[in-house]
Amino acid sequence: MEQIKILLKNIQKTLSLSFSLAVAQFKLRNEGSYLGIFWYLLEPLSFFIILLFLGGVISNNSIDKYPLYLFLGLIMYNFFLAVTNSATSVMSSNSGFIKSIKIKPEAFVLANAFQFVFSHIFEIIIFAVFMVFYGVNLAFLLFYPVIFFFFFLFILGVSFTLATLGVYLIDLNNIWQVIGRFLFFATPIFYLIPKNTWFFSLSVFNPLYHYTSISRDIIIYDTLPVFRGMFLVSIISIIIFFAGLYIFEKNKSKFAEKL
């Protein structure tokens, strides 16, 4: 009982430190910039417009409510990529702390992820505006925090793994960017995978596919969450999270001397 209490206290302390670090990093990112947080929206919005144009004009697709389909996929993918990309170098950029103070290094990985949650909230607000514009029932957006919770766990698991690898491989960041580009095309963000094809069967192994398709089904197409799908997604998330955390915990004592 006493041990559980100590564990909970430690988790609370780490979360509180992560939150303070995330707020500081978020403030620093916007410091001195004229448009501040609007920069975060400008980037996905401009990319959204390009893809919308390509999707509408060139492929003449038949996806229902395509702009919403595209935007939701895009902001979820962007969130994943932004967090994991910066997780590859999060340990080396905080090496000053890790080498000279007794601090929980998990806090840096968490803080890195939290700071992008702030900008993701703004993107979701824009998405809600789009939903109103296209006449979609906003009520189903209330399911998003639940999906996001599991999505976030999954991203944290990947981040912990990447942060650990990043200590040993200095150019992991470049490798991850290539993988990120590959994942962008492998995940149905701006297209729909035709069912009963080999690509469809392969996508079952892409976790990003599950998160985006469940979110779209529920939020845009107003289908109530299917128990089987949600169960699968939550299991993937929990496994990936604990696997990543395990790798990190196993290696963290060597970080101070390797960095």
Partner 1 sequence: MIRVELKNASKIFSIDFRRDKGSLARLLKVLSGKTEKQERVAVKDISFTARSGEIIGLVGRNGAGKSTLLKLIAGIYETSNGTIKTDGELVYLTSLGLGLMPKLTMRENIFLSGSILGLEQKEVRQRFSQIVDFSGLHDFVDLKVYQFSSGMVTRLSFSTTFFCIKHKNPDILLIDEVFGTVGDFDFERKASEKMEELIKGGATVVLASHDLDTIKKYCNRVIWLNEGEIFGAGNPQEIISKYLSM
Binding site for partner 1 (CB under 8 A): 13, 16-17, 20-21, 24, 27-28, 31-32, 96-103, 169-172, 175, 253-254, 256-258
Q: Report whether 131 contacts 141 (CB < 8 A).
A: yes
Nearest approach, Cβ of 121 to partner 1 (angstroms)?
21
Nearer to partner 1, 181 or 254 (CB): 254
CA distance 232 to 125: 28
Cα dist. 167→28, 92, 94, 173 in Å?
Answer: 24, 7, 11, 11
Q: Report whether 46 contacts 185 (CB < 8 A).
A: no
Nearer to partner 1, 3 or 62 (CB): 3
3-state secondary structure of 103: coil
Nearest approach, Cβ of 34 to partner 1 (angstroms)?
15
Which residues, at least 6 apart from 214, have a Cβ–Cβ distance to it below 8 Å? 147, 225, 229, 230, 233
Token pair 């040993």: residue: 168
3-state secondary structure of 45: helix
Nearer to partner 1, 94 or 213 (CB): 94
Cα dist. 140→1, 35, 128, 215, 225 in Å?
Answer: 40, 31, 11, 10, 10
Nearer to partner 1, 28 or 125 (CB): 28
Nearer to partner 1, 137 or 174 (CB): 174
Nearer to partner 1, 85 or 212 (CB): 85
CA distance 251 to 248: 5
